[in-house]
């Protein structure tokens, strides 16, 4: 049915795009969080135990990981994948709600104002863009 109505198709495509972006940000967030956790554990192990790995003393290994950890952490803060993930899910849900509402009206052959739905779509997208900029600017 979406293929017959350009507005339905547009809303559906935007929802899919936001869903894809949400998945990317979710994966990035979880990967970075996992990496920072593993690096923290490696710092603790290398600090607590005296050993050599490939002729590098544990003190040097701990120092290396202690340098890497703030880099990963700062990337998490600067990139804000968790906030972007939540934002993208929110926008996707708003678009899916709009899509469902319009689709039901079309299937019931009910009277509706396409311009009103276009305005609502543009309002969602404008709000999404503003929020995205806010998140990126911190």
Q: Per-residue pLDDT tens for 35-76?
A: 999 999 989 888 888 777 677 788 888 899 899 999 999 888
Q: How much of the chain, in percent, has pLDDT values that exceed 90?
A: 72
Is the Cβ–Cβ distance between 16 and 99 less than 8 Å? no
Q: Per-residue pLDDT tens for 82-96?
A: 999 999 999 999 999
Return the number of other C-beta atoms located less than 10 Å from residue 121's C-beta. 19
Place of tokens 């305005």: 119
């Amino acid at each position: 049915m979406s293929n017959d109505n350009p507005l339905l198709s547009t809303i559906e495509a935007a929802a899919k795009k936001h869903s894809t972006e949400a998945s990317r940000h979710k994966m990035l967030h979880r990967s970075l969080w996992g990496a920072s956790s593993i690096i923290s554990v490696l710092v603790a192990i290398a600090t607590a135990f005296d050993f050599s790995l490939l002729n590098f003393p544990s003190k040097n290994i701990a120092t290396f990981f202690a340098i890497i950890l703030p880099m990963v952490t700062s990337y998490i803060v600067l990139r804000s994948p968790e906030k972007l993930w939540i934002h993208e899910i929110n926008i996707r849900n708003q678009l899916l709600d709009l899509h469902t509402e319009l689709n039901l009206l079309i299937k019931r052959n009910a009277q509706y104002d396409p311009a009103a739905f276009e305005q609502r779509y543009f309002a969602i997208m404008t709000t999404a863009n503003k929020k995205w900029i806010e998140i990126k600017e911190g």
